[in-house]
Amino acid sequence: MSPASGTAGTAFSGGFCRDGRAVDAGIVLDLRPLPAGLSVPGATVSGADRIVNSRTASISGTPTEAGAFTIQVRAWAKVGATGDKSPIYNYTINVAGGANAPPSFSQHPASQTVTAGSAVSFTVAASGTPTPTLQWRKNSVALSGQTGATLSIASAAAGDAGSYDCVATSTAGTATSSAATLTVNPAPVAPSFTQHPASQTVTAGSAVSFTVAASGTPTPTLQWRKNSVALSGQTGATLSIASAAAGDAGSYDCVATSAAGTATSNAATLTVNPAPVAPTFTQHPVSQTVTAGSAVSFTVAASGTTNADFAVAEELGCAQRPDGRDVLDRVRRRR
* CATH match of 101-185 with 2.60.40.10: yes
Q: Do the two domains 101-185 and 189-273 of this chain adopt the same fold?
A: yes
**Domain boundaries, given as residue ranges, for the chain:** 4-96, 101-185, 189-273, 277-335
Q: What kind of fold does domain 189-273 have according to CATH?
A: Immunoglobulin-like (2.60.40)
From first to last of its 335 residues, what are the pLDDT tens digits of the chain? 578 888 877 888 888 776 655 445 566 655 556 778 888 888 887 777 788 887 788 889 988 777 888 888 888 777 777 777 788 888 888 888 777 789 999 999 999 999 999 999 999 999 988 889 999 999 999 999 999 999 999 999 999 999 999 999 998 899 999 999 999 999 999 999 999 999 999 999 999 999 999 999 999 999 999 999 999 999 999 999 999 999 999 999 999 999 999 999 999 999 999 988 888 999 999 999 999 999 999 999 988 765 434 333 333 444 333 343 333 343 333 33
Looking at domain 4-96, which CATH architecture does it have?
Sandwich (2.60)
How far apart (Å, rounded) are the C-alpha atoms in residues 204 and 274? 5
Instruction: State pTM to two decimals.
Output: 0.48
